[in-house]
Amino acid sequence: MLTLPEIETLARTAHAGQTDKAGRPYAEHLRAVAEGVRARGGDADLIAAAWLHDAVEDDALSEAWLAAAELSDRTKAVVLAVTKRAGETPEAYAGRILATPGALLVKEADLAHNADPARLAVLDGPTRTRLTEKYARMRALLGLTHQRS
């Protein structure tokens, strides 16, 4: 099995050169989500999933790579659960997250970092408003009634 430091290195390499909406290195988001999962009591499987949570969605790593990777079945299931699919409704996406043990914790940490006011503040007004509404809607669909940082 891959160790957490190996998974971190792999995720950082897979997302090398990518930036978030604010122009920051994408690895900063991955680190923040992994730390958010750890702070919420997540175990090594969920921390691994946090490092990889956007890898398939962003085409940084393929589903075939994930299937063959030396990762726990639980980590793989969580990564697939939080991977948005083209044309999928927010309700279907939320349902898959809720149906997959551990996925809600990873998505909660992801949403917390995405909705961080400091990150949103550097975006233009319309983008900030659109994303704030999008994240609030997903939190509601997931039953996340309060936000933890």
Q: Dihedral of the CA atoms 54, 57, 61, 63 (nearest 10)?
A: 120
Distances (CA, A) of 105 to 5, 41, 140, 148: 20, 9, 14, 11
Measured CA to CA, the distance from residue 100 to residue 76 in angstroms comes to 11
pLDDT of residue 22: 85
Q: What is the pLDDT of residues 51-102, one digit of tens each?
A: 999 999 999 999 999 999 999 999 999 999 999 999 999 999 999 999 999 9
144's CB contacts (< 8 A; 6+ apart) are: 104, 108, 111
Q: What average pLDDT does range 126-132 have in this prediction?
A: 96
pTM: 0.95
Q: Which amino acid is at 137?
A: R
